[in-house]
Amino acid sequence: MSGVAEAAGRVLLENWRGSYTVPAGGLYPHQWSWDSAFIAIGLRHLSVERAQLELDSLFSAQWADGRLPQIVFDTRKDDGYSPGAAFWRSERITGSPAASTSGLVQPPNHAMAAWLVHVSDPAQSRRRGFLERAYPRLVAWHSYLLERRGGASGLAHLVHPWESGMDNSPYWDAALADTPDRLAGDIPRPDLQHAAADQRPTNAEYSTYLGLAARYRDHDCDDRDADFPFRFEDPAFNALWARSELALADIADELGADPEPHRARAAAITVALERLWHQGMGMYTARDLVRGQLQPFRTVSGLIPLLLPTVRHADELLGTLAGEHFALGRVGLVPSHDLTAETFDPSRYWRGPSWFNTAWLLAEALHDRGEHDAAATLAHDIVASAAHHDFPEYIDPHSREPRGTRRFSWTAALALDLLHRGRASVE
């Protein structure tokens, strides 16, 4: 193994907590849903068993309605993160699991990860019955999205910015400003002990995040609050759902189950994504279901549909990715927000900095589309930026300086994955 792969492995070992991996020791001391899926994709190269356990432990916190929770709390560390187990009190809600969890969800990248974990050692996976265990969990999770979060549009909707994984994206600004649910008084910000305030969401954003989460919790997280003030269809969330349906088709095939319903669902979501196409922006964007508007912002979320083989506007998306707004190959990784927008901030969380998970997804998409040079350049940038800065959470796209916390698990895992699969090399 190269020195970089070894260093990445050390980050994953350090952040391992016996049956799952924390995103980062100080800032995020619990198990996060889509982090665990990205982490399993890298961990499989170190230990297939651990990668399986990472996903199994998330599945064991599944709710009776099928949702996979945003966070599974380590209740011994509840004071280190806000909002924690004491805020959610999930145990009082019927259908919640034995573990203490958040009631929200995160993007559905889990079936995609489960399939990649399986193919890294199919014989071992079969021996341990990994996919037999995972498949019903994943089917229940996707049914939750369809039945509780789906609608006539054919897309699933989010009820909180945290559910997008891209917390303070400009997509949510107008809706948050318009939301009556805010937490008054002191806003707990333990995160600021671990990352600079100008690289994190603001207190004003946090007061609405907490107000919305409290309202959802106080309705027992049951999704039937017809007047809920925040409901969005997000491109990356739905593209990952469709991509994961394609992975479920592969899993069904492997298990001798019928793959067709999964292929049909993936195709239906891909077609439904067209309602998020914004001609003027040249990309997909989020739709505010409460106010009925497409958001006039370019963010990396709107590029993620490139993962779908039959997405209609692939050529325009490739043009937007290469053009002045995201400047592929000319800045660090892929910025989370349009480089030319007034709302762009190179340091603040999901309003400009480049993240490793979205860059990895786009490197996969470019590779699958036969754009091998662009995929290799991006993969190389992921590995180099991870290695040079001690596996940062995100980077400034212009200066390439590290931002947020360091020794971040998915940064290490995804760099390790690219090295192991020969998609990038170390110079």
Binding site for ligand 2M8 (CB under 6 A): 23, 28, 32, 34-35, 70, 162, 165, 167, 191
Nearer to ligand 2M8 among residue 103 and residue 165 (C-beta): 165
| Catalytic annotation, pick one of 35, 56, 74, 167 | 167
Q: Kindly state the smallest distance separating residue 392's Cβ from ligand 2M8, in Å.
A: 12
Q: Kindly state the smallest distance separating residue 319's Cβ from ligand 2M8, in Å.
A: 27
Q: What are phi and psi of 14, to 5 degrees?
A: -65, -35
| Catalytic annotation, pick one of 56, 288, 393, 417 | 393
Helix/strand/coil percentages in the chain, nearest 5: 50, 5, 40
Give the Å distances, CA to CA, from 39 to 222, 356, 425: 29, 12, 20
Helix or strand run (H / E) with residue 354 = strand 354-355
Q: Kindly state the smallest distance separating residue 348's Cβ from ligand 2M8, in Å.
A: 12
- Burial of 260 (C-beta count, 10 Å sphere; 0-12/13-18/19+): exposed
Q: Kindly state the smallest distance separating residue 320's Cβ from ligand 2M8, in Å.
A: 22
Q: Kindly state the smallest distance separating residue 165's Cβ from ligand 2M8, in Å.
A: 3
Following DSSP, what letter does each residue of 398-411 receive, concatenated? TT--EES-SS-HHH
- Burial of 88 (C-beta count, 10 Å sphere; 0-12/13-18/19+): buried
Nearer to ligand 2M8 among residue 36 and residue 270 (C-beta): 36
Q: What are phi and psi of 175, to 5 degrees?
A: -65, -40
* Residues 6 or more apart whose Cβ sits within 8 Å of residue 332: 354, 381, 385, 395, 396, 397, 398, 399, 400
Nearer to ligand 2M8 among residue 24 and residue 281 (C-beta): 24
Q: Kindly state the smallest distance separating residue 123's Cβ from ligand 2M8, in Å.
A: 32
Give per-residue burial for 55-79: e unless 16+ CB within 10 Å, then b: bbbbbebbbebbbbbbbbbbeeebe
Nearer to ligand 2M8 among residue 277 and residue 410 (C-beta): 410
Nearer to ligand 2M8 among residue 54 and residue 167 (C-beta): 167
Backbone Cα Rg of the chain:
20
Contact in structure between 416 and 8 (CB atoms under 8 Å): yes
Tell me how long the chain is. Answer: 427
Active-site annotation holds for 167 = yes
Nearer to ligand 2M8 among residue 21 and residue 125 (C-beta): 21
- Cite the active site residues: 167, 393
